[in-house]
Structure 1
Amino acid sequence: MTFVQLIDCRTSRFDEMDRLMDTWVEQTKGKRTATHALVGKDRSDASHFVEMVEFPSYEEAMRNSNLPETDRIFQDMVALCDEMPTFTDLEVVRDEQLNCATAREWFEQAGTIEVDRMFDRVADDYVEHDPSGPRDSGLRAASEEFAGWRNAFDFSFRVDDQIAQDDLVCTRWTWTGRHKGDFVGIPATGQNVTMTGMTWQRFRGGMICEGWWQYDRAGLLEQLGVLGQ
Structure 2
Amino acid sequence: MTFVQLIDCRTSRFDEMDRLMDTWVERTRGKRTATHAVVAKDRSDDSHFIEIVEFPSYEEAMRNSNLPETGKVFQELVALCDEMPTFTDLDVVRDEQLYARTARLFFDTIGARGELPPLDGLIAEDYHDHDPANPQDTMGMDAMRRAIEEWRGGFDYAFTLEDQIAQGDRVCNRWTWRGAHKGDFMGIPATGRTVTMTGTTVFRCREDGKIVEAWWQYDRLGLMDQLGALDALEQ
Q: Which category of TM-score, normalised to the shorter sequence, fits these structures?
A: over 0.9
The equivalent residue for 2:198 is 196
TM-score when normalising by structure 2: 0.92
Could you tell me how far 1:155 is from its partner in structure 2?
0.9
Superposed structure 1 runs of 4+ greater than 3 Å apart: none
How far, CA to CA, are the matches of 2:5 and 2:145 in structure 1? 44
Separation in 2 of the partners of 1:227 and 1:90?
A: 57
Q: Distance in 1 between matches of 2:27 and 2:219?
A: 42
Q: Which residue, out of 216, 219, 232, partners 1:216?
A: 219
| Alignment deviations for residues 149-191 of structure 1 (CA, whole Å, 9 cap, x no partner) | 1111111112222221122222221111111222222222121
Greater shift, 42-51 or 194-203, is seen at 194-203
Aligned equivalents of 1:194, 1:35: Cα separation in 2: 36
Aligned to 1:68: 68
Tell me the CA shift for residue 57 of structure 1: 0.3
Structure 1, gaps ≥5 residues long: none
- Offset of residue 201 of structure 1: 1.2
Provide the rounded CA distance (Å) in 1 between the counterparts of 2:128 and 2:10.
Answer: 43
| Residue matched to 2:149 | 147
| C-alpha separation in 2, matches of 1:23 and 1:102 | 37
Q: SS in structure 1 opposite 2:101?
A: helix
Q: How far is 1:68 from its partner?
A: 1.6
CA gap 1:143/1:41 in 2 versus in 1, 3 angstroms: same
Q: Secondary structure at the match of 2:230?
A: coil
Distance (whole Å) between structure 2 residues aligned to residue 203 and residue 93 of structure 1: 25
Root-mean-square deviation (CA, aligned residues, Å) is 1.5
Change (3 A) 1:116 1:105: closer
Residue 109 of structure 1: CA displacement? 2.4
Match of 1:226 in 2: 229
Say which is worse superposed, 124-133 or 114-123, in terms of deviation: 114-123
Residue 226 of structure 1: SS of its match in structure 2? coil
The equivalent residue for 1:181 is 183
Cα distance between partner residues in 2 of 1:183 and 1:120: 28
Q: Are residue 96 (structure 1) and residue 99 (structure 2) matched?
A: no
Q: CA deviation at 1:118?
A: 3.5
Q: How does 1:23-42 map to 2 (within 5 A)?
A: 23-42=23-42
Match of 2:134 in 1: 133
> What is the DSSP-based 3-state SS (H/G/I as helix, E as strand, rest coil) of the residue aligned with 1:16?
helix
Query: Unaligned stretches of 5+ in structure 2?
Result: none
Are the aligned partners of 1:8 and 1:50 in contact in 2 as well (CA < 8 Å)? yes
> Secondary structure of the equivalent of 1:118?
coil
- Per-residue deviation at 1:137? 2.4
Q: What are the superposed Cα offsets for residues 112-134 of structure 1, whole Å, 9 maximum, x if unpaired? A: 26335135321111111112122
After superposition, give the CA deviation of every residue in 1:3-28 in whole Å (9 maximum; x if it has no partner): 00000001111111111111111221
**Partners of 2:81 and 2:216 in 1: CA distance:** 47
Report the AA paired with residue 216 of structure 1. Answer: D
TM-score (norm 1): 0.94
Give the aligned length: 229
Contact 2:109 2:116 in 1 (8 A): no
